Amino acid sequence: MDDLTSRDDEKRLELAREQGRQQEQNLQHERELATEQGRKQALDEERTKENIRNNAQANAQANANAAQANANAREKSKGGWGMGMKIIASLIVLVILVAIIGLLTLSVSVTPATTNYALPFTTNYAVTFPEGQAIAIGSSQMTVLTYQNELISDIDGDRQKLEVGDDRVISQRRALITTFGVIKIMDTNFQIDLKYKGDRDNQAYFDMSIHTSQQVPDFLLKQLLPAEIHAQPM
């Protein structure tokens, strides 16, 4: 009886020891799994950090490259804009020089009209003539001199006495306006009508109407008028 009890106790002890060994193995396995999992997690975290660092460096380099490209583009744009402005400024200066030379070489040639044309365009001026001085209007020579209440006007040797309100006509002529000596700007027939308005301080006052066969700008029309008379547009 005691032998049976002893064998049962041994079996129970052996079973307990086996269960203990099994539990110890399970615990060891769990510890190994936990350690392995920790290593994997640490490796994953390190890889994630490395990827973040690499991405940050790549982004920084890309931003630096983009900034440099923008700076180069702006510099190139500034250079192109500056060159364009220089070219435009040079062209403006050239145009101004050509215009000045054109004005300085502007000339008017007046000849007798070979054909009388209609003169539909009229420009009016208020003018003064100095008395006793021969004035060239186109190809005509005109001199005026007051005597008592009358004005003696001499145009190309044809003398007429004028009272206030009387008219005097310079017959139709041809004007050829050129610049640079050869470039024709305008070719027009013209006629000048004068109405005597009286005199003051040795100046004879007239209303002048210039009739032309073409529309002539005022600055060109004044080329027909000498510097000795003052012409004010009406």
Predicted confidence (pLDDT) at residue 122 exceeds the cutoff of 80: yes
> Model confidence over 97-115: pLDDT tens digits?
767 776 667 778 888 888 8
> Which helix (H) or strand (E) segment is 183 a member of?
strand 183-200
User: What does the pLDDT read at residue 45?
Assistant: 67
Rounded mean pLDDT of 148-163? Answer: 87
Predicted confidence (pLDDT) at residue 231 exceeds the cutoff of 70: yes
Cβ atoms within 10 Å of 211's Cβ, excluding its own? 16
Q: Is 182 helix (H, G, I), strand (E, B) or coil?
A: coil
The proportion of the chain whose per-residue pLDDT surpasses 70, expressed as a percent, equals 81
The proportion of the chain whose per-residue pLDDT surpasses 90, expressed as a percent, equals 19
Rounded mean pLDDT of 76-83? Answer: 63
> Model confidence over 39-53: pLDDT tens digits?
776 676 677 667 767
| The model scores a pTM over 0.85 | no
Q: Is 177 helix (H, G, I), strand (E, B) or coil?
A: strand
Supply the mean pLDDT for the chain: 80
From the list 178, 191, 186, the residue with the least C-alpha distance to 116 is 191
User: What does the pLDDT read at residue 69?
Assistant: 73
Predicted confidence (pLDDT) at residue 225 exceeds the cutoff of 80: yes
User: What does the pLDDT read at residue 38?
Assistant: 66
Rounded mean pLDDT of 40-68? Answer: 71
> Model confidence over 166-218: pLDDT tens digits?
999 988 999 888 888 778 888 899 999 999 998 888 889 999 999 999 998 88
Predicted confidence (pLDDT) at residue 13 exceeds the cutoff of 80: no
> Model confidence over 134-152: pLDDT tens digits?
888 777 888 998 877 788 9
- Give 226's contacts (C-beta < 8 A, 6+ positions apart): 135, 136, 137
Q: Is 102 helix (H, G, I), strand (E, B) or coil?
A: helix
